[in-house]
């Protein structure tokens, strides 16, 4: 909880007395022991504006912030990724494809990226380029190129590769289980919201 809210809570006589009781009883003062006390005090003060010169709304906000911090500690990275995915899906449900149009500049860059990968994929029969089937409302363009061997020869080819990668917002390069090289790229703003 931010220091401001701690200071506000320490200005409440009832809270000070509860802390002193905990000390007297040898109870460790920490988030787990203090939060129930704070919650109880806020419930009792429901309907009042102030107590000991402190806003009850401010006290309640402090309790919410502390609860949020405790909840966040209980979740691992996997939980946050899952939560982000759920929020993203809700946002996508609110959008309509018809509200989005091609952004010509970004689409040209996306097509240049695809063309570069297509020219490199013509070397071996097992090479292939896959364009992700995204809805316009997702706004980005994605492509994944898989190669038996991915190599660049000469300054012009290296510069060409760097040029097409500059338009990307995300790039991953990894080896597949069968020994292929897989390059996935995302180009942002290939589609944009139609403002007309």
Q: Tell me 49's DSSP state.
A: S
pLDDT in tens, 97-150: 999 999 999 999 999 999 999 999 987 788 999 999 989 999 999 999 999 999
Q: Interhelix angle for 56-73 vs 31-44, to 10°?
A: 150
98: tokens are 């018809």
Q: How far apart are CA 160 and CA 154, in angstroms?
A: 10
Q: What is the dihedral of CA 146, 172, 164, 113, to 10 degrees?
A: 40
139: tokens are 């706004």
Q: Which is nearest to 161 in space by CA: 171, 21, 34, 138? A: 171
Q: How far apart are CA 139 and CA 144, in angstroms?
A: 17
Q: How far apart are CA 60 and CA 141, in angstroms?
A: 45
pLDDT in tens, 21-69: 999 999 998 888 899 999 999 999 989 999 999 999 999 999 998 888 7
Domain extent listing, the chain: 3-74, 99-193
Q: Write down the architecture of domain 99-193 according to CATH.
A: 2-Layer Sandwich (3.30)
Whether the model clears a pTM of 0.75, i.e. scores above it, the answer is no
């Amino acid at each position: 909880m931010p220091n401001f809210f701690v200071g506000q809570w320490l200005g409440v006589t009832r809270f000070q007395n509860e802390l002193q009781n905990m000390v007297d009883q040898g109870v460790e003062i920490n988030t787990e022991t203090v939060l129930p006390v704070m919650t109880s005090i806020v419930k009792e003060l429901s309907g009042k504006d102030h107590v000991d010169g402190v806003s009850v709304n401010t006290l309640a906000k402090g309790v919410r912030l502390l609860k949020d911090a405790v909840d966040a500690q209980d979740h691992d990275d996997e939980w946050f990724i899952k939560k982000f995915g759920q929020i993203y899906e809700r946002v996508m449900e609110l959008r309509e494809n018809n509200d989005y149009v091609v952004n010509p500049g970004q689409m040209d860059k996306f097509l240049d990226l695809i063309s570069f990968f297509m020219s490199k994929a013509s070397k071996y029969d097992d090479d292939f380029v896959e364009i992700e089937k995204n809805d316009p409302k997702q706004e980005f363009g994605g492509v994944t190129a898989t190669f038996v061997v991915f190599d660049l020869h000469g300054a012009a080819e290296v510069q060409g590769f760097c040029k097409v990668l500059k338009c990307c917002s995300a790039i991953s390069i990894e080896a597949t289980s069968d020994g292929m090289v897989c390059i996935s790229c995302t180009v942002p703003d290939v589609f944009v919201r139609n403002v007309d």
